[in-house]
Amino acid sequence: MSTALLISIISTAVVYAATVLYAAVGEIFSQRAGVMNLGLEGIMLMGAVSGYMVAVYQQNLFLAMCVVILVGAALGLVFSFLTVTMQADQTVCGMAMLTFGTGLSGFLGKSVAGVNADLAFEPIPIPVLSRIPVLGPSLFSQNILVYLIYLIIPLSMIYIYKTRAGMILRALGENPAALDSAGYNVYALRYAYVIFGSIMTAVGGAVVSLAYTNFWSDGMTSGKGWIAVALVVFSAWNPLTATFGAMLFGAISIIGIDVQTLFPSVPSQVFAALPYIATIIVLIFTTGNFGGRRSSAPAALTIPYDREKR
């Protein structure tokens, strides 16, 4: 395996991981707060299309990201209103978000489909670090959104496991009634985390249309939102584990194509099956019941909080 090939695989895996991780980290926060949002794919598409539209019409990436954040927040607000205030079924609302986002993004994106924005997050090599062989060009010659996720992962780990706010977040998903009696506003907290999760997801979509590729096409995230949902469960609601999962999945799903051209005698379907074999193995390790370990799912996940019910 040549160095160029290795660099190409790692660097594509990193970018792939970044697109999925924004959504996955957002969903980890949302689910840790007790709200499961299955509409990630729809929100990602909305983020992707809104960012790309602003990039095409305004030629301004900063503005594009601001709009993406607003769109994410708006969708998160709608979702939390439905699931937290109205206490609607989270699975059904998630599906509604999915269809709504997919449909609306296709409708809005009609005018920019096939239009070249000529504007994208270009890779910025980090001085010194980018000169490390193999790792330099693959990890430290990326765009700013990828660097941002390098920061978000450790920060979210510290937040969830080492801060008081993180402890409250975990309690929110485990036993909201206890938090309520301790004087915290369960509804407000859930609103905040769901909106945060939705913003992260929308940004993940924008990574697809503005950094990873540079165009808009209907349904372009092609299932990344679902992979993010799966990663949350894989990782046992832990951002660091999710990172490894995303990297692994990214590397394995693209490695097949590189290996194809190296070994044309092996049917390409063999390589196409690799990600699923990896998925099963990862599933065994993360969710398997080894020696009576209990599932790490937040106890109050998908259960709407109702003060009247005690």
Determine the Cα–Cα distance for residues 205 and 222; give it in Å rounded to an integer.
11
CA distance 171 to 173: 5
Closer to other proteins by Cβ: residue 165 or 270: 270
Min dist. Cβ of residue 58 to other proteins (A): 19
Residue numbers at the binding site for other proteins (CB under 8 A): 2, 4-5, 8, 12, 16, 106, 110, 113-116, 208, 212-215, 217-220, 222, 253-254, 257-258, 260-261, 263-273, 277, 281, 284-285, 288, 290-291, 293
Judging by beta carbons within 10 Å of its beta carbon (0-12, 13-18, 19+), is residue 276 exposed, middle or buried? exposed
Please, which residue, 161 or 263, has the CB nearer to other proteins? Answer: 263
Among 67, 64, 46, 68, which residue's Cα sits nearest to residue 55? 64
C-beta of 53 vs 189, nearer to other proteins: 53
Nearer to other proteins, 158 or 257 (CB): 257
List of long-range contacts for 304-308, beta carbons under 8 Å, 24+ apart: 304/83, 304/84, 304/87, 304/88, 304/90, 305/34, 305/84, 305/87, 305/176, 305/177, 305/180, 305/186, 305/187, 305/190, 306/87, 307/180
Min. distance of Cβ 130 from other proteins in angstroms?
17
Instruction: Choose between 116 and 164: whose C-beta lies nearer to other proteins.
Output: 116
Closest CA to 134 of 44, 11, 28, 230: 11
Distance of CA 132 to the CA centre of its chain: 28
Shortest Å distance, C-beta 191 to other proteins: 33
Angle at 78 between CA 68 and CA 80, to 5 degrees: 110
Provide, rounded to whole angstroms, the least separation between the CB of residue 264 and other proteins.
5
Question: In angstroms, what is the minimal distance from the CB of 302 to other proteins?
Answer: 29
CB of residue 182 to other proteins, shortest distance in Å: 35
What is the spatial distance between Cα 158 and Cα 240, in angstroms, rounded to a whole number? Answer: 11
- Residue given tokens 């660091």 in the structure block: 240
CB of 188 to other proteins, least distance (A): 38
Nearer to other proteins, 217 or 302 (CB): 217
Question: Quick one: 49 or 194, whose CB is closer to other proteins?
Answer: 49
